Structure formats: structure tokens, C-alpha cells
Amino acid sequence: MGGTDQARGTTRSPNETDANDNGGGVTRNLPSDGLINLDHGDPTMYEAFWRKMGDKCTVVIKGYEHLSYFSTNKNPCWFLEPKLEDSIRSLHGAVGNAETDGYTIVVGTGSSQLLQAVLYALAPQDQPDPINVVSAAPFYSSYPETTNIVRSGVYKWAGDAHGFDKDEPYIEFVTSPNNPNGVIRGPVVNRDGGFVVYDLAYYWPQYTPITSSLDFDIMLFTASKCTGHAGSRIGWALVKDKEVAKKMITFVVASSIGVSKESQLRVAKILQVVADGCKRFGSSDGDNLFEYGRNVLAKRWEILRETVKNTQMFTLPKYPLQHCNYNGDLTQAHPAFAWIKCKDGMEECEKVFKGVKILVRSGRRFGSDPGYARVSMMGKDEEFNGLIERLSSVIQICNNDD
Ligand SMILES: Cc1ncc(COP(=O)(O)O)c(C=O)c1O
């Protein structure tokens, strides 16, 4: 369960995206005896791209600007900066991954805040029992904690959606592509009295083929995984029903009276630069973020697959070839995480990695089997290279043992 780290007296850093959880000895420069932390989903692989973009995304905010709590009186989400709204709509239009016409946009401090806002908005306030919150295992490891942290009287975590057999109302989080395993998913409960919330953090062309422009009732996105700007803490929800959107807005107001304007304006600029560059393929400017991200991830997946290929040690999921409407070719997913299964008989996959000083997240944390582990593919080159080097040494040790 999500609370176990606190129970042990450690301060677990923010869910997947921790910047300060350095594993108590991790060094960024990877000396040969240093830990490599691939437990979290910190998207630092994008740093090289943004460095190349130089001043294109520089935003200057003067001391007298943006003092007000308010951003607009033209939108129920009165703390949403109009420039951010424009660039969100223009980016989805350019990529073709989600519809925005007719949707209210709600901005949050990361999509983490919006996950809470959506639970508040959907949970009936007048029922004797809290509504059940479920997601199909393996599910994003933060859902249980996000749901239960405030011990709400109106919603509660009810675990794996596959095992949800109660004839009761529910909210189902559908993560697609899924964290941890990169699979495209739909709802599994499919019963009356249910709400479905689509968490589309990874529905971007560097991770997966874009096969349609989605138009679900509630869709969550985040800059963290789209552009790599996790530190800006900007997420957004596309919400069809205005009443649901208003309740989400009420939640954000109650918890933080809106969202940092500095962050919104920075991300507005970044999303616009991404939207402008993303229609250019193979350009010598190299200003297409999705092309960059896909190239990096495709190369890393190829190397990782090659590394495990000739061994009986690990298996990796396979992904179908699909037509991507965004770049017009037949392509595979290159997910942000590798969902690795250790060979039968190795009960704790996480420990195999720990043995070579690589921190990964156990399958158990995703409501799944500890024979699996999730490994971030979004780290810096030196972290990924370290992973490959050390995996090769595990393979050698194990092969020598055989
Ligand atoms: C599936 C999923 N949803 C939501 C989030 C939260 O993202 P953030 O709060 O950084 O926007 C993450 C972060 O890892 C995630 O993987």
C-alpha cells in the first residue's frame, strides 16, 4: 500500500516523480559503485532536447507582473492562464491525440492534484458509504495513496478493477498507455453506476502510436511526461460535463487557490514551441520534441531488448505494430517504463536489480507480482548506459552459475 514508506519512517518523495529521493547515496555522475535510481519516473532524458532549444522557451516575468490570484473572467477555471489554455488546445490539435472542442480545461498542480480533484468531483456527497475507486492491476502505484491519503468519507480505494465484483458505485482510473507496462487499455468493470477517468499522461507520440483523437468524458494530461517539465508541476484535465469541471475547480481552489502563474506561463510557452515544431519531421533544426523523444526511446528499447535477448533471465512485453496518425507510419510503442519479468523461480525481481545497485520499483507496488519490476526508461543517458552495463553483468554472473 502507498502508506508503507511513511510507516517505515522514511519520507517517500512525490510518488513517481521524485526529484529528491536520491536513494540515500545515489550520485548523478554514476561512479562505478554508485546506485542508479530508476525507481521513479523522472523525465530527465528531455534535458538534452531543451538545452538544444536554447532561449526559445525563455520566459521573463517582471516583479510587477502576475500578482493577482485571478487569470481570466471568461472561463469557469478563473485561475487558468489564457495562454496556457491556447497552447493546450493547439498542441492537442497538432498531435491529434485528444479532442478539445466543447471541453472545459481545468489546470492543476500536476495531474496528481487533478486526480484528487476528480475524485472529489465524482464522489456523491450524500451517500452513507464512500464510493469505490479501482484500477486494473498492474495500476499506477500512486492511485491507492492518492485515494486514501486524506481518509475521505466519500471515496475509498477498492483495489484491482479485475477483482471488483460488488454491485456498488465505483470510479475506475484507466491509464492508457498504462504505467507500468505501456499497454493501451480500456475500462474493465463496465457496469452501471460507474465513472471512468482516463489518465492519459503517456498518450503522446514518443511513447505510443496515436491511433485516434480521444473524446472521453474526463481526460487527464501532464506536462511532466509530455515535455519532461515535471518540476513545473502543471497538469490539465479535459472535462466534458461543466458541472464536473466546476467541482474540480472548487477542489483546486480549496486546496491551493489556483495554480502558480509562473509555472503556467512557462509551460504555455513550452507547449506552444512543441506544437509549432511538431509538424516538422526530419528537420535539420531538430525542433520536433516527439521525434527526439521517440528516437531516444526507440534506441534505448532496442538496446535493452538486445541485452536481455540471449538470456533466460528476463522477459519484456511485446507491443503490436500500429499505424500512428501523428507521424503517418507503422510503429510500435516505446514506453516510458520497462515492465520486466524475472525468470520463473526468481520471486523478487527488484532484488536482482538491487544486487547490482539499481533501484527499481517492485511489481508489488502496482498491485501485481513481485516477479515483475518497473524500470524507468526516461533517465539521462549515463543512467540508461549504467543500467545496460550492470544488466549485462547480472547476465554474466547468472550464466556462469548455470
Ligand atoms: C499515470 C500517471 N498519472 C499521473 C502522474 C502524475 O504526474 P504529475 O503529478 O507530475 O503531473 C504520473 C506521474 O508519474 C503518472 O505516471
The 10s digit of each residue's pLDDT in 305-335 is: 999 986 668 999 999 999 999 999 999 999 9
Q: Is 119 among the domain residues? A: yes
What is the number of domains present in the chain? Answer: 2
Does the beta carbon of 140 sit less than 6 angstroms from any atom of ligand 1? yes
* Cβ(359)–Cβ(23) below 8 Å: yes
Name which of 60, 1, 25, 14 is nearest 354 in CA terms. 25
Task: Provide the CA 229 distance to its chain's centre, in angstroms.
Answer: 12
* Cβ(370)–Cβ(353) below 8 Å: no
What is the CA(222)–ligand 1 centre distance, in A? 7
Strands 218-222 and 194-199, by their bridges, are parallel
Q: Are residues 269 and 314 in the same domain?
A: no
CATH code, 224: 3.40.640.10
Task: Provide the CA 249 distance to its chain's centre, in angstroms.
Answer: 22
Q: Are residues 246 and 216 in the same domain?
A: yes
CATH code, 376: 3.90.1150.10
> What is the tens place of the pLDDT at every residue in 2-21?
333 322 233 344 444 433 33
Q: Are residues 264 and 322 in the same domain?
A: no
Q: Is 76 among the domain residues? A: no
Three cell numbers written together for 180: 507500468
Does the beta carbon of 130 sit less than 6 angstroms from any atom of ligand 1? no
At which of 253, 277, 301 does a domain end? Answer: 277
DSSP state of 367: T
Task: Provide the CA 259 distance to its chain's centre, in angstroms.
Answer: 19
Task: Compute CA distances 155 → 71, 150, 254, whole Å.
Answer: 31, 10, 18
Q: Around Cβ 116, how many Cβ atoms within 10 Å?
A: 21
Q: Are residues 248 and 373 in the same domain?
A: no
Does the beta carbon of 235 sit less than 6 angstroms from any atom of ligand 1? yes
- Provide the domain limits for residue 359: 36-54+288-401
Q: Is 45 among the domain residues? A: yes
What is the CA(180)–ligand 1 centre distance, in A? 11
Name which of 187, 19, 200, 178 is nearest 115 in CA terms. 200
Q: Is 132 among the domain residues? A: yes
> What is the tens place of the pLDDT at every residue in 92-128?
999 999 999 999 999 999 999 999 999 999 999 999 9
Does the beta carbon of 307 sit less than 6 angstroms from any atom of ligand 1? no
Q: Is 237 among the domain residues? A: yes
Q: Is 157 among the domain residues? A: yes
pTM of the predicted protein model: 0.92
Q: Are residues 164 and 211 in the same domain?
A: yes
Q: Is 27 among the domain residues? A: no
Q: Is 175 among the domain residues? A: yes
At which of 249, 277, 305 does a domain end? Answer: 277
Task: Among 38, 179, 263, 376, say which to mutate for ligand 1: greatest number of ligand atoms within 8 Å of CB.
Answer: 179
* Cβ(278)–Cβ(324) below 8 Å: no
